[in-house]
A and B are shown apart, each in its own frame.
Chain A
Amino acid sequence: METFWFIIIAIVLAVFFILDGYDFGAGIIHLFLAKTENDKELIAKSAGLFWDSNEVWLVAAGGMLFMAFPTFYASVFSGFYLPLIIVLWLIIFRAIGLEFRGQFHFQMWKDIWDKSFGVSSLLLALFFGIALGNIVRGVNLGGVENGVSIYEGHYFFLPLWDSSFSPLSETPGIIDWFTIIIGLISVVTLAIHGANWIILKTNSSINGNLKNVIFKMNIALAALTLFSLAVWKTVSPNSLDNFAHKPYLLIFPIIYLTGLVGLFFIKKLKKDIHGFVLSSLLILGGITSSLASLFPVILPSVNSINGPLTIYNTASSEYGLSVALNWGIIGFILLFVYMIIQKRLMGGKVDKMDYGH
């Protein structure tokens, strides 16, 4: 039952990053590449019409994590206190940017909220990557200093950074050179994904150029991926064991690779949706591969005194999990019905859709 809820939450998280990921990515592209007012408006619209229904998935993921793995929820949310609250602020800033830019028609107003949208999208993509890096690397569970735990073994508190900026430190911080690499991978991936979304949903004047940009970013992504794999082994020596023991888990890295390789052919793709599907595979594969490499651990410990958090030592009672399954199934069926209805009515390019006037 724990495994089952772990898979459900992983899927919900992946859906969240695929959906909200495209509007984060659109924000990054908007920040660096949108030059004319028409393009800026179109790109903002391609995110602005959808961000709130996408972020509901984050709320859902949070709620399910709370229900199914309360100890993990408590430990991680308090341990990553500052970055999490900063993420909340960025989410708010981004939302304000999207909702307010179209409300008044003078340029300075629009420029302010465009920057707010773009910069917070960029930082959020970076932070989410850094968060994933932290989960993969592990934390100093129990806050061990000189061989003694200062908290209960399943609690920790991470500073934003440790003076060494090294993932190999005994007390690693949230930002170190390894988590920065994962952060950059996240930024590039989401930027590619956002570019695909813009091509799919708008007729902006930069659409033609964006395919070039995706191609170049994909080269960078391939290089970053190789580099991160090389250092991953140093950061957590057993990272590949799971894949060796359970070869069927290799499906997840293969999903990632399919996306990565496929995107090199972006200029030859017949349909815009294909590019979007490939970058969705990147996100899906990236998240699931990281989680699969840890399973059943969900937060490794960097010290030898306190063991890691696993799905078993952080889960709710069996009864709670099985009751939740009953309503969860009903909930998911309803969800997919809503999604189909919504996609039917909001399909097609956004150029003509009404946005905040």
Chain B
Amino acid sequence: MEDMIFYDRLQFAFTITFHYIFPQLTMGLSLLIVYFKWRYLRNKIEKYNDAAKFFMKIFAINFTMGVVTGIPMEFQFGTNWAKFSELTGGIIGQTLAMEGMFSFFLESSFLALFIFGEKLMGQKLHLLTGFLVFLGSWASGWFILATNAWMQHPVGYEILDNGKFVLENFSALFGNPWLLPAFLHNQLASVVTSSFVVASIGAFYILREKQTEYGKLFLKTGVIFGLVSSVLVAFPTGDWNAKNVAQYQPAAFAAMEGIFETEHAGAEIVLIGQPNMVEKKLDNKIAVPNILSFLTYQEWHKQIPGMDKFKKEELPDNIPALYYSYHIMVGLGTVFMGIMALAVFFLWRKKLYQAKALLWTIMFLVPFPYIANLTGWYVAELGRQPYLVYGLLRTVDGISPTVSSGNTLFTLLGFVALYMLLGLLFLVLVGKTINQGPKPQTH
């Protein structure tokens, strides 16, 4: 049983991590594509249209990767988490089926039209298809977050005698207090990733001194979108989510903030420190008193329950991983705001395109928003442990009763091998597209 659940979780973690590299770019990028295309309609400057089409190419590669790595996600609910699917399918099946129906079809149909149909449709319809691609990809995020929000904070259900969850109130699934903050936070985080990608490609073109006109456009757009989104991702949406966790999952809140012992009045905020699970304290801690209470409740001396207030079986099972994920996410988010604010300041002073050191930094910063997005999801998923449906269905009770750990290890190894190949090909392809740029030399 122990190793069964271990391999099931590892396989899900691995495949979802790899999968989420792609949608987090496409969701944000579709917004920037619509922006470029809209600007082109307003100002008729050709390079805006080229930018929209160039990034739609990058989008298409990521979309393909998202589709082929996304199908295994949907299948895995049934293959590895059969008991969970059986018990909750009547509820999360709704939101997952709606995702297929309302977002994938929209996205895939109009992506093809955007790429192939510009001449046939004319500019206004072309903008509209771009907008529909954006709508499809954000709808996809909405339905996935609705599914996850129900697992984090179940609403609108009834539990039958045989343990099955049945739907009692459909609209409650979308009025879930967990959903809107999580959705906005997630979507803005994906705008951060794509802004960094756009800015990074721009910095690359400027530093390489080829297609620099596009480089400047990409960089300018990227840093402005990047600053706005990285501020909004922290405040108000990140803050709003943290308050939700404090309210609905206090055990997870204590663990992610690294509060081992409840303080009498006013919880400190931990900046640095390593959880020591033997002595139940943080090693090498640097913390600021009372700030956490203030951020969470706007009261300097409000008590926040530490991990000592919860039974062991209510606490997340991997506290250090949760703590690090949260601190990496927050730390990186802070760095992003700083870099982007600096870049926008240079842009305003008309020095950005000559600021070599900053351009190099922006160019090489591109993996980090991906890391911040993924660690953000780890916070949500590790924080929900030891439950699949918070407070109601334990993770250990959700796995497939008939699939042995040997089988799961076999498929996990297969996925690792296949995804390494896939990742390599993806990099080659994206690298080639970026290298060619919006105006390829040949043709």
A92 touches B93 (CB 8 A): no
Interface hits, A307-348 → B, CB 8 Å: 316-317, 319-320, 323-324, 327-328, 331-332, 334-335, 338-339, 341-342, 345-346
Chain A interface, >50% SS class? helix
A74 touches B83 (CB 8 A): yes
A323 touches B167 (CB 8 A): yes
Q: Which residues of the partner chain B approach A63 to less than 8 Å between Cβ atoms?
A: 74, 93, 96-101
Q: Which residues of the partner chain A approach B63 to less than 8 Å between Cβ atoms?
A: 52
Whether a CB of chain B sits under 8 angstroms from the CB of A24 is: no
Whether a CB of chain A sits under 8 angstroms from the CB of B432 is: yes
Give Cα distance in the complex from A58 to B91, angstroms.
20
Interface bits A130-168 vs B (CB < 8 Å: 1, else 0): 000000000000010000000110011100000000000
Q: Which residues of the partner chain A approach B110 to less than 8 Å between Cβ atoms?
A: 338
Give Cα distance in the complex from A52 to B77, angstroms.
22
B414 to A, closest residue via Cβ: A89
Whether a CB of chain A sits under 8 angstroms from the CB of B360 is: no
Q: Count CB-based A-B contacts (< 8 Å).
A: 210
Q: Which residues of the partner chain B approach A353 to less than 8 Å between Cβ atoms?
A: 116
Q: Which residues of the partner chain B approach A84 to less than 8 Å between Cβ atoms?
A: 75, 78-79
A95 touches B113 (CB 8 A): no
A88 touches B72 (CB 8 A): yes
Select B112's contact among A67, A156, A331, A342, beta carbons within 8 Å: A342
Given contacts A59-B74, A151-B401, A155-B401, contact A331 B86 (CB under 8 A): no
Give Cα distance in the complex from A341 to B121, angstroms.
11
Q: How near does chain A come to B85, taking the closest CB pair, in angstroms?
A: 4
Interface bin, chain A: 35 or more
Give Cα distance in the complex from A62 to B88, angstroms.
15
A100 touches B113 (CB 8 A): no
Q: Which residues of the partner chain A approach B78 to less than 8 Å between Cβ atoms?
A: 66, 73-74, 76-78, 84
B89 touches A70 (CB 8 A): yes
B71 touches A88 (CB 8 A): yes
Interface core residue of B63, B70, B113, B402 (most chain A CB under 10 Å)? B402
Whether a CB of chain B sits under 8 angstroms from the CB of A272 is: no
Given contacts A78-B79, A331-B102, contact A91 B71 (CB under 8 A): yes
Interface hits, B100-139 → A, CB 8 Å: 100-102, 104-106, 108-110, 112-113, 116-117, 120-121
Q: How near does chain A come to B72, taking the closest CB pair, in angstroms?
A: 5
Interface core residue of A49, A66, A73 (most chain B CB under 10 Å)? A66
Q: Which residues of the partner chain B approach A156 to less than 8 Å between Cβ atoms?
A: 402
Q: Which residues of the partner chain A approach B91 to less than 8 Å between Cβ atoms?
A: 320
Give Cα distance in the complex from A64 to B410, angstroms.
28
A78 touches B82 (CB 8 A): yes
Q: How near does chain B come to A351, taking the closest CB pair, in angstroms?
A: 14
Given contacts A77-B82, A345-B117, contact A70 B93 (CB under 8 A): yes
Q: Which residues of the partner chain A approach B166 to less than 8 Å between Cβ atoms?
A: 316-317, 319-320
Give Cα distance in the complex from A346 to B120, angstroms.
11
A88 touches B75 (CB 8 A): yes
Give Cα distance in the complex from A241 to B278, angstroms.
67
Select A60's contact among B64, B101, B116, B422, beta carbons within 8 Å: B101
Interface bits B172-213 vs A (CB < 8 Å: 1, else 0): 000000000000000000000000000000000000000000
Q: How near does chain B come to A10, taking the closest CB pair, in angstroms?
A: 15
Q: Which residues of the partner chain A approach B403 to less than 8 Å between Cβ atoms?
A: 78, 81, 157
Give Cα distance in the complex from A71 to B418, angstroms.
30
Given contacts A82-B407, A95-B68, A335-B101, contact A68 B425 (CB under 8 A): no
Give Cα distance in the complex from A69 to B164, angstroms.
13
B93 touches A68 (CB 8 A): yes
Q: Which residues of the partner chain B approach A85 to less than 8 Å between Cβ atoms?
A: 72, 75, 79, 411, 414
B113 touches A345 (CB 8 A): yes
Interface core residue of A64, A78, A100, A328 (most chain B CB under 10 Å)? A78
Q: How near does chain B come to A158, taking the closest CB pair, in angstroms?
A: 9
Interface hits, A38-69 → B, CB 8 Å: 49, 52-53, 55-56, 58-60, 62-64, 66-69
Interface bits B417-437 vs A (CB < 8 Å: 1, else 0): 010011001001100100000
Interface core residue of B63, B82, B91 (most chain A CB under 10 Å)? B82
- A sample of 16 cross-chain residue pairs with beta-carbon separation below 8 angstroms, ordered by A number, consists of A55-B67, A55-B71, A66-B85, A66-B89, A70-B85, A70-B89, A74-B82, A74-B83, A74-B400, A77-B75, A81-B79, A88-B75, A320-B91, A331-B101, A334-B106, A342-B112
Task: Show the binding face of B for A, using Cβ within 8 Å.
Answer: 61, 63-64, 67-72, 74-75, 77-80, 82-83, 85-94, 96-102, 104-106, 108-110, 112-113, 116-117, 120-121, 166-168, 170, 400-403, 407, 410-411, 414, 418, 421-422, 425, 428-429, 432
Task: Show the binding face of A for B, using Cβ within 8 Å.
Answer: 49, 52-53, 55-56, 58-60, 62-64, 66-71, 73-79, 81-82, 84-85, 88-89, 91-93, 95-96, 99-100, 103, 143, 151-152, 155-157, 316-317, 319-320, 323-324, 327-328, 331-332, 334-335, 338-339, 341-342, 345-346, 353-354
